[in-house]
Structure 1
Amino acid sequence: MKFIDLRSDTVTVPTQAMKDAMYNAEVGDDVYGDDPTVNELEAFAAKLVGKEAALFVPSGTFGNQLAIMTHCRRGDEVIVGDDSHIVIHEVGASAVIAGVQLRTLRSNKGALDPVEVDAKIRGTDIHFPETGLICLENAHSLGTVISLENMRSIYAVGKNHTIPVHLDGARLFNAAAALGVNAKEITRYCDTVNFCLSKGLCAPIGSILAGTKEFIARARKGRKLMGGGLRQAGFLAAAGLVALKEMVGRISEDHANAKYLAEELSKIPSIRVNLEDVHINMVFFKAIETDKDLDRLVQEFYNRGIKINPPEDGEFRFVTNYWISKSDIDFAINTLKELL
């Protein structure tokens, strides 16, 4: 049975072009540095985001945590938004892997206040941890995009205090499409960036961590420590190359479908959706004034060939991707109307 899967853009499967590239990939042992396809991917990715070097890693969480471990010493403090992916959805890995503590700041739909960031940087005191890193997220996992001006201001704060800035850019190319800029215009305001190949770009696995040559050399050893040395990883890197060369340019189609989805949802009397917050391919909404058991909707949607996540704090999230068409959205909207 073919399902319409609105749970996330992580559910995308490889395109035929990716399957062909994987089948024909030239590979070697990447831990030795002699996998030509991985080397090609890393060089292409670094150039794409305007950094000196890049490293292929298994996942976005892996990339973020490797960045934190490479930037920081044990006991350091990391400044980060309280609603960020690093804080909420990475299983407390920063404490376990890097041995750092997170100093969370309240964000405004993902954007941090540069003045508050500056105020939270630790001074010199025997009792204080040292501020080792500032982490930003763009596009944000709330589905919003952070302005370049906000990123520029926070990056300036970091430079002023000689503190590096890491960008969780899992959906970096969604942010670039929404802002109408090249990805390099975003990554110029961070020292390191992690971005996913498997979120909306259809690669089956993998992320990229990019930064200076010196940073990536240290991160490469950290990747090995964390179990990320994947040997003949060129089969996976081949799909990543197709993702970056062929899939980045069409992301705006997913955004257009998300806006259409949000507009159609807003026409349902018992649905509340904030249209202004639909920046990328995510639509968050609430069902109100209904006696329907919202958790049961998940199974009822499934029975009709649609996969959705249960509501979190009463809020649903539908995500468009390469494999979701406008007719799929219409079917999902009509299904929701019937079930409510």
Structure 2
Amino acid sequence: MIDLRSDTVTKPSAGMLTAMTSAPLGDDVYGEDPTVNQLEETVAGLLGHEAGLFTVTGSLANVLGVMSLVPRGGEVLCEASAHIVRAELGSHAAASGVTTRTWSASGLIDLEQIRALIAPDLGPYFVQTAAVSVENTHNFGGGAIQHAYDALADELDTRGIPLHLDGARLWNASVATGRPASAYASRAAAASVCLSKGLGAPVGSVLVGSADLIAEARVWRKRLGAGWRQAGVLAAAGLYALEHNIDRLAEDHANARVIAEVLADAAPGSVKPDQVETNIVVVDLSSTGKSVADVVAAAREAGVLISGVGATQLRVVTHLDAAAEDCRRAAAVLASIIS
């Protein structure tokens, strides 16, 4: 079975498992796990921030990051299909009392829409915009890179509004553009990055920010029941991933482009290959007469797992456990189904 539902489905390699079983351990709630401490310091350094906090999921890292910037009753602006409003089960409202308003730009930054949405402090009558959140790369935008990121960061700097970066797949953006991840993350007051997607670790994300921000986030992590003990077993996987699996993301990007080109030939208009910048291919079935459920089921029957992500949209995600040959075979299977 070729599993292209997500890059979260990867399994630890033999080298990663060795690193996990040989990691020095301590109690992280006491701040005494040396491997966790090393991971947090390493990621913070790579991203141009003072401190980091290892969390079990990217969703938790985002909740803590947004919470650190937005007071209860305040709002964060984000794109309408952003992960923080579409795929985190309302956690920012339920756990943090944070409200959201959105712009719609197929996952991308739209400066004009954002300027129109930003709400100033008008006294105790209207909500005030406390932060803007950007996802880079953007999951439901087909792995799109935020090329207007610096322009937005400059705009927010002039307004004194902090930027939150959901960098779950920031490593993909960095590899695709050749730009250091720190060039993106250092512009944000709080940024999260994932280790368990394209980098192949089994669990974990890291939130980075100032020392004060991370100290507060650490308290809230424990308050939400997410403190952990000998977490160095998992942190070791993250350190291994950072050392071995960043540069190879380019292979996933190339495989995604191959899939996109095959599907575009099979069903013109379903995919725009020139817009596939990283490892995610979103396929629009609206012109094919096929239903998402039927295509997903037929693909599974043929040995390929993919996801439905909308009324007419499929998502195909390449990763380190799907070799180029697997991706070519999956592309042929999907092309035969949707053509």
When the two structures are superposed, what TM-score results if normalisation uses the length of structure 2? 0.94
**2:104 aligned partner:** 106
Aligned equivalents of 2:337, 2:151: Cα separation in 1 = 47
- Post-superposition shift, 1:254? 0.5
- Post-superposition shift, 1:89? 0.8
Classify 1:333/1:131 alpha carbon distance in 2 versus 1 (closer, same or farther; 3 Å): closer
Aligned equivalents of 2:55, 2:150: Cα separation in 1 = 27
Aligned equivalents of 2:104, 2:332: Cα separation in 1 = 37
Classify 1:220/1:11 alpha carbon distance in 2 versus 1 (closer, same or farther; 3 Å): same
- Post-superposition shift, 1:17? 1.2
**1:28-54 residue CA offsets vs partner (Å, 9 max, x unmatched):** 110000000000000111111111110
Which consecutive aligned stretches of 4+ in structure 1 deviate over 6 angstroms post-superposition? none
SS at match of 2:208: strand
Aligned equivalents of 2:52, 2:112: Cα separation in 1 = 28
Letter in 1 for 2:280: M
CA contact (8 A) 1:77 1:100 kept: yes
Aligned equivalents of 1:31, 1:225: Cα separation in 2 = 12
When the two structures are superposed, what TM-score results if normalisation uses the length of structure 1? 0.93
- Post-superposition shift, 1:107? 2.7
**2:218 aligned partner:** 220
Instruction: Please identify, of 121-130 and 17-26, the stretch whose mean Cα deviation from structure 2 is larger.
Output: 121-130
**2:41 aligned partner:** 43
CA contact (8 A) 1:76 1:101 kept: yes
**1:80 aligned partner:** 78
Aligned equivalents of 1:338, 1:157: Cα separation in 2 = 47
Classify 1:289/1:43 alpha carbon distance in 2 versus 1 (closer, same or farther; 3 Å): closer
- Post-superposition shift, 1:109? 3.5
Given candidates 92, 95, 110, the residue that maps to 1:94 is 92
CA contact (8 A) 2:256 2:276 kept: yes
Classify 1:75/1:289 alpha carbon distance in 2 versus 1 (closer, same or farther; 3 Å): closer
CA contact (8 A) 2:77 2:131 kept: yes
- Post-superposition shift, 1:80? 1.4
Classify 1:115/1:160 alpha carbon distance in 2 versus 1 (closer, same or farther; 3 Å): farther
Given candidates 7, 10, 22, the residue that maps to 2:8 is 10
CA contact (8 A) 2:65 2:217 kept: yes
CA contact (8 A) 2:286 2:312 kept: no
- Post-superposition shift, 1:116? 3.1
CA contact (8 A) 1:201 1:243 kept: yes
CA contact (8 A) 1:81 1:136 kept: yes
CA contact (8 A) 2:267 2:288 kept: no
Aligned equivalents of 1:95, 1:81: Cα separation in 2 = 16
Classify 1:127/1:201 alpha carbon distance in 2 versus 1 (closer, same or farther; 3 Å): same
Given candidates 148, 151, 159, the residue that maps to 2:149 is 151
**1:34 aligned partner:** 32
- Post-superposition shift, 1:70? 1.8
**2:312 aligned partner:** 314
Classify 1:308/1:202 alpha carbon distance in 2 versus 1 (closer, same or farther; 3 Å): same
**1:302-336 residue CA offsets vs partner (Å, 9 max, x unmatched):** 23322112362211111110011121122213323
Instruction: Please identify, of 161-170 and 42-51, the stretch whose mean Cα deviation from structure 2 is larger.
Output: 161-170
**1:263 aligned partner:** 261
**1:84-130 residue CA offsets vs partner (Å, 9 max, x unmatched):** 11111111111111101102122354213157336523233220223
Aligned equivalents of 1:313, 1:14: Cα separation in 2 = 33
Classify 1:287/1:72 alpha carbon distance in 2 versus 1 (closer, same or farther; 3 Å): closer
CA contact (8 A) 1:117 1:154 kept: no
SS at match of 1:273: coil
Q: Does 1:184 align with 2:182?
A: yes
Letter in 2 for 1:28: G
5 Å-filtered alignment, 1:158-173, equals 158-173=156-171
CA contact (8 A) 1:49 1:184 kept: yes
Q: How many residues align?
A: 336
5+ residue gaps in structure 2? none
